[in-house]
Structure 1
Amino acid sequence: MKKEECFYLGKIVKKYSFKGELLAKLDTDEPDLYDNLDAIFIDLRGNLVPFFIESSQLHKSDLLRLKFEDVNDEADADALLKTELYLPLELLPKLEGDKFYFHEVIGFNIKDQNFGNVGIITGINDSTAQSLFEIDRDGIEILIPMNDEFIVKVDRENKTIVVNTPEGLIDLYLEE
Structure 2
Amino acid sequence: MLKKECFYLGKIVSKFSFKGEVLIKLDTDEPEAYTKMESVFVDYNDNLVPFFIEKSSLHKSDLLRAKFEDVDTEEDADDLMRCDIYLPLDQLPELEGDKFYFHEIIGFTAEDVNFGKIGTITGVNDSSYQALFEIDHNGNEILIPVNDDFIKKVDKKNKIILLETPPGLIEIYL
TM-score calculated relative to the size of structure 1? 0.98
Listed one character per residue, the Cα deviations across residues 84-123 of structure 1 (whole Å, up to 9, x for unaligned) are: 0000000000111111000000000000000000000001
Partner-residue secondary structure (3-state), 2:17: coil
How far did 1:68 drift?
0.4
How far did 1:129 drift?
1.5
Alignment partners' CA distance in 1, 2:25 and 2:106: 27
Alignment partners' CA distance in 2, 1:9 and 1:147: 23
TM-score calculated relative to the size of structure 2? 0.99
Partner-residue secondary structure (3-state), 2:19: coil
- Root mean square deviation of aligned Cα: 0.5
Match of 1:44 in 2: 44
Partner-residue secondary structure (3-state), 2:67: strand
Match of 1:130 in 2: 130
Partner-residue secondary structure (3-state), 1:103: helix
Structure 1 stretches of 4+ with a deviation exceeding 2 A read none
Alignment partners' CA distance in 2, 1:98 and 1:52: 34
Alignment partners' CA distance in 1, 2:157 and 2:14: 43
Alignment partners' CA distance in 2, 1:113 and 1:100: 20
Match of 1:111 in 2: 111
For residue 140 of structure 1, what is the amino acid of its counterpart? Answer: N
Partner-residue secondary structure (3-state), 1:81: coil
Gap runs ≥5 in structure 2: none
Match of 2:54 in 1: 54
Gap runs ≥5 in structure 1: none
Alignment partners' CA distance in 1, 2:162 and 2:151: 6
Alignment partners' CA distance in 1, 2:148 and 2:156: 17
Partner-residue secondary structure (3-state), 1:104: helix
Identity rate, percent: 66
Match of 1:159 in 2: 159
